[in-house]
Structure 1
């Protein structure tokens, strides 16, 4: 029954994404990617629309793999990513993640692929970035690109920890992709939570 429920959700979500793709006006406030493989970071609340953003980014850079939790929460997310033309990398929580991350880095070297990760995922706290994306940037010696999104009209799921956002059809979505260069987990950039926020690219937070 759980699998059937997941299939229904995936069908509904992918159908809605197709509607958004046809009706939403996407504006780029910034796009400073350098091409080639990169590490993309975004806020978990923007995960739904990021399916369409990453599909667009993949046209400008190497194919994008998205890191997804290995537990059951990630099952339907992986199916959504695949049906939208992406690839999911399942990573367990805690110490078990180290072996999986080692394999991800090795594959990135060999296959020249970009990696995307929700900075405050999988379970928050909201807008507090974890070190994973910056560790990957440091180890792979790849540029980190922070992606922030703003919506002119949306539904926000206020009862969720991430205040998950679902944009509405015929709205405008503004996307900013800022290249911070190679970063490391001890110097995390101060990342804007909105594409309309003031640019924060030169500030860093010591960890």
Structure 2
């Protein structure tokens, strides 16, 4: 991956929002789609953010890659060890004073539908959600993968679009409230992709 990095032209839109010290002090939960994660890993190398990674074999490989790129990992997913992973992520965020990166539709989809993990973490940490989209101009798309993973080809342009922070009200914990907050984040992410 490090050999790939110099060949990519990474551009950032609305990046000052992400770097804003006031927002960073609130330990934001950055959400993106699973198929767009590759360029974001390269763009945020050695920033020490927390990533929740599934306990699958694929997750083990991803955790090793993320840790080599300076990310902290908390292991678990919606189907296995999810609550334990969210608690571990919150602890790491509090201890290190950093935000988290979360694939909103991972680890198994449905594609481009926000699941409650990121929303739950953000409300428990009183953190804003920062939606992010990555638009790549030339990619290899893995059509058989559930997420249709996008791998940017060498010498392609990757535009990372940082959305404005979303401040969620403290959830009452009921399914309707959580679902409404997930839809709010999902709409913001879809709008970013239209820019």
Task: Tell me whether 125-134 or 179-188 shows the greater mean CA deviation.
Answer: 179-188
**Aligned pair in 2 of structure 1 residues 95, 80: CA closer, same or farther (>3 Å)?**
closer
Q: After alignment, is 91-100 or 43-52 more displaced?
A: 91-100
CA drift at 1:149: 0.6
TM-score between the two structures when normalised by the length of structure 1: 0.77
Q: Which residue of 2 aligns with 1:46?
A: 36
* Two-structure CA RMSD over aligned residues (Å): 2.1
Secondary structure, counterpart of 1:182 in structure 2: coil
Aligned 1:105-120 pairs, distance under 5 A: 105-120=90-105
1:75 alignment partner in structure 2: 60
Please tell me whether residue 197 in structure 1 is matched to residue 194 in structure 2: yes
Q: What number of residue pairs does the alignment pair up?
A: 177
Asked if 1:29 is matched to 2:13, the reply is yes
CA contact (8 A) 1:150 1:195 kept: no
SS state at 2:44 partner: helix
Give the SS at the match of 2:106. Answer: coil
Shift in Å at residue 66 of structure 1? 0.9
Query: Greater share of helix residues, 1 or 2?
Result: 2
C-alpha distance in structure 1 between counterparts of 2:99 and 2:165, whole Å? 15
Which 4+ residue blocks in structure 1 deviate beyond 4 angstroms? 193-196
Aligned runs of 1:61-140 on 2, under 5 Å? Answer: 63-94=48-79, 96-140=81-125
Structure with the greater alpha carbon radius of gyration? 1
Between 1:146-155 and 1:102-111, the stretch displaced more is 102-111
Q: Runs of 5+ in structure 1 lacking a partner?
A: 1-16, 199-207
- Superposed displacement of residue 196, structure 1: 5.0
- How far did 1:195 drift? 5.5
1:99 to partner: Cα distance = 3.1
Distance change in 2, residues 1:160/1:109 (3 Å): same
How far 1:25 sits from its partner (Å)?
1.0
CA distance in 2, matches of 1:54, 1:41: 13
Deviation at 1:176, TM superposition (A): 0.5
Structure with the larger strand share: 1
TM-score (norm 2): 0.81
Partner of 1:181: 166
Unaligned runs of 5+ in 2: 170-177
